Every structure is written in structure tokens, then in C-alpha cells.
């Protein structure tokens, strides 16, 4: 399975600190996406990084991709209490059989005011 | 709001009931998806529709029956469910199913409890 696995499973930080979340996957990918889910709500797309990209930024978010290590990281800088949510990485494989979006179990981030 | 709505938001049903979940997207997308989210498990893809045609059924039991009358609406008909079917059911849409590369937009989900 190419399913992404996030690490750590849970993260608790103080407001203003940076939060780093990691994702590892098993097979080669076309792209990797990060999503956020507030409690009891649907997922919201944050950022997509393609296999030929190494880093992308969006506001306070920074995503890196290392295809040689089959891993990605999501960095949230200057965290806020409103960033408290679950974060999921999802991968899209580069072959027909693995071309659907496959999610990991998620990371629970708590940002203390 | 993501442009994808789901009703009802909460549903409690007995194992002998028949109910339906509804999803509507206002984004002009051509692909729609049903996912099941259970505690401590990865999001499970159930069904995919592309231009109203079902393109994926991820070995879902027949007690779940999807219907896609047009590209904007998706239903999930439920009958004789089991308690382990209790979960958050999420609907999503995207421009089209093109190798999964498109960003998916999710609805808020229906929290289903089967007694």
C-alpha cells in the first residue's frame, strides 16, 4: 500500500511555536497533498506538492518532499490556537493501480493559547 | 464553506431501518466520492463517480448503495446496517478523476450511529 503514515500521532505546542509534522509513504508518487480537519468537520485541502517539487509555501505553511526518502513534512510557523485540528497527508501514486488519493491516519495538533 | 453540502449532519438509525445520505456540490465538478471515517483508522474510500458513472467500488458491502443522478448530487442509501458501520461519512468532489491529481473538496460529513 502507498498509504501515508504521519508522525507523530499527536502534537501539543504553545501558541507562537512552530509545528512540524511528518509523513512517510511506501511507493512512488505523482503528488502528495496535506489536508486539515477540524473536529467533526470535513477535510480542507491545504497544499499539493508534485513529485518533481522539493518545497512549497502557502502563507504560514511550508511543505517539503524528499522522494528519495519517500517522506514529506508540513511546517506551520507561528502557530495559533485556531490551528488546532487533525492534519492528514494523502498520496497519489504514479501508476494506474495506485492513482487514487490515499490518506494516512492523521496527526492531532493541539495549540495551547 | 467548501461548496459541498451534506444532509443530514447527524443520523441515528436502527439496524432494520432504511435511510439515505445526500451530498450536493456547487462547484461545477464532475467527480464525486464517498468516504468512511472511523476512529483511529485512515479515511476509507468507498465509491467514486466520474461524469455520473461509477468508476470505483472499493469492496463495499451491498448494504451501502450509492446513486449519482447527475454530476452535482450523490446519495448513499443505507439498509440493514450493522453497529460497526457507525462512522463519519464524508462526501467529496473534484474537477474530474484524473489519476487522483485533482484537489478534493469535502463536505462537513454525516455522523451516523447505528444502534
Which of B42, B56, B103 lies nearest to residue A48, judging by beta carbons?
Answer: B103
Tell me which residue has cell 514529506.
A72
| Exposure string for B61-85, b = 16+ CB within 10 A, e = fewer | eeebebebeebbebbbebeebeeeb
Q: What is the pLDDT of residue B97?
A: 64
Query: B18 to chain A, minimum CA–CA distance in Å?
Result: 24
Neighboring chain A residues of B4 at a CB cutoff of 8 Å: 42
What are the residues facing B98 on neighbouring strands? none
Of A1-10, B1-10, B37-46, B52-61, where does mean pLDDT reach its minimum?
A1-10
**Confidence grade of residue B51 (pLDDT, cut at 50, 70, 90):** confident
Using the Cβ of B111 and the Cβ atoms of chain A, whether some distance falls under 8 Å is answered with yes
Of A57-66, B6-15, B42-51, B80-89, where does mean pLDDT reach its minimum?
B42-51
Using the Cβ of B59 and the Cβ atoms of chain A, whether some distance falls under 8 Å is answered with no
Tell me which residue has cell 513529485.
A51
- C-alpha to C-alpha distance for B29 and B10, rounded to whole angstroms: 25
| 3-class DSSP assignment, residue B42 | coil
| Mean pLDDT, range A94-105, rounded to an integer | 76
Neighboring chain B residues of A100 at a CB cutoff of 8 Å: 45, 48, 56, 100
**Confidence grade of residue B84 (pLDDT, cut at 50, 70, 90):** very high
What are the residues facing A74 on neighbouring strands? A21, A63
Task: Identify which has the larger pLDDT, B100 or A35.
Answer: A35
What does the pLDDT look like over A32-78, one tens digit per residue? 999 999 988 899 999 999 999 999 999 999 999 999 999 999 999 99
∠B73-B36-A71 over CA atoms, to 5°?
110
| Mean pLDDT, range B16-40, rounded to an integer | 93
| 3-class DSSP assignment, residue B1 | coil
- C-alpha to C-alpha distance for A103 and B13, rounded to whole angstroms: 28
Q: What is the pLDDT of residue A96?
A: 64
Neighboring chain B residues of A105 at a CB cutoff of 8 Å: 40-42
- Inter-chain residue contact A101 with B100, CB threshold 8 Å: yes
Alpha-helical regions (H) of B9-107: none
Name the residue of chain A whose CA is nearest to B98's CA.
Answer: A99
- Please check whether residue A26 is in contact with residue A70, taking contact to mean a CB–CB distance below 8 angstroms: yes
Task: Identify which has the larger pLDDT, B19 or A1.
Answer: B19
Query: A31 to chain B, minimum CA–CA distance in Å?
Result: 7
Using the Cβ of B109 and the Cβ atoms of chain A, whether some distance falls under 8 Å is answered with yes
- What number of H helices and E strands is found in chain A? 0, 11
**Confidence grade of residue A98 (pLDDT, cut at 50, 70, 90):** low
Q: What is the pLDDT of residue B13?
A: 93
Q: Minimal CA–CA distance to B82: which of B33, B36, B23, B35?
A: B36
Averaged pLDDT score across all residues of chain B? 91
Amino acid at each position: 500500500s502507498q498509504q501515508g503514515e504521519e508522525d507523530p500521532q499527536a502534537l501539543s505546542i504553545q501558541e507562537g511555536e512552530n509545528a512540524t509534522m511528518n509523513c512517510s509513504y511506501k511507493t512512488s508518487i505523482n503528488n502528495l497533498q496535506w489536508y486539515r480537519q477540524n473536529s467533526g468537520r470535513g477535510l480542507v485541502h491545504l497544499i499539493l506538492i508534485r513529485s518533481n517539487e522539493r518545497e512549497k509555501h502557502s502563507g504560514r505553511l511550508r511543505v517539503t518532499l524528499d522522494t528519495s526518502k519517500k517522506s514529506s513534512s508540513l511546517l506551520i510557523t507561528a502557530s495559533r490556537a485556531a490551528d488546532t485540528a487533525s492534519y492528514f497527508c494523502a498520496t497519489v501514486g504514479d501508476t494506474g493501480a495506485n492513482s487514487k488519493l490515499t490518506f494516512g491516519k492523521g496527526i492531532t495538533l493541539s495549540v495551547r493559547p | 464553506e467548501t461548496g459541498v453540502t451534506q444532509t443530514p449532519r447527524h443520523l441515528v438509525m436502527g439496524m432494520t431501518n432504511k435511510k439515505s445520505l445526500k451530498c450536493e456540490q456547487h462547484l461545477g465538478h464532475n467527480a464525486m466520492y464517498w468516504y468512511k471515517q472511523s476512529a483511529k483508522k485512515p479515511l476509507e474510500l468507498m465509491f467514486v463517480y466520474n461524469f455520473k458513472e461509477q468508476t470505483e467500488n472499493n469492496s463495499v458491502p451491498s448494504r451501502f448503495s450509492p446513486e449519482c443522478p447527475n454530476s452535482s448530487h450523490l446519495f448513499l442509501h443505507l439498509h440493514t446496517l450493522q453497529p460497526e458501520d457507525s462512522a463519519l461519512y464524508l462526501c467529496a468532489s473534484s474537477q474530474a478523476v484524473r489519476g487522483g491529481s485533482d484537489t478534493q473538496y469535502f463536505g462537513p460529513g454525516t455522523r451516523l450511529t447505528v444502534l
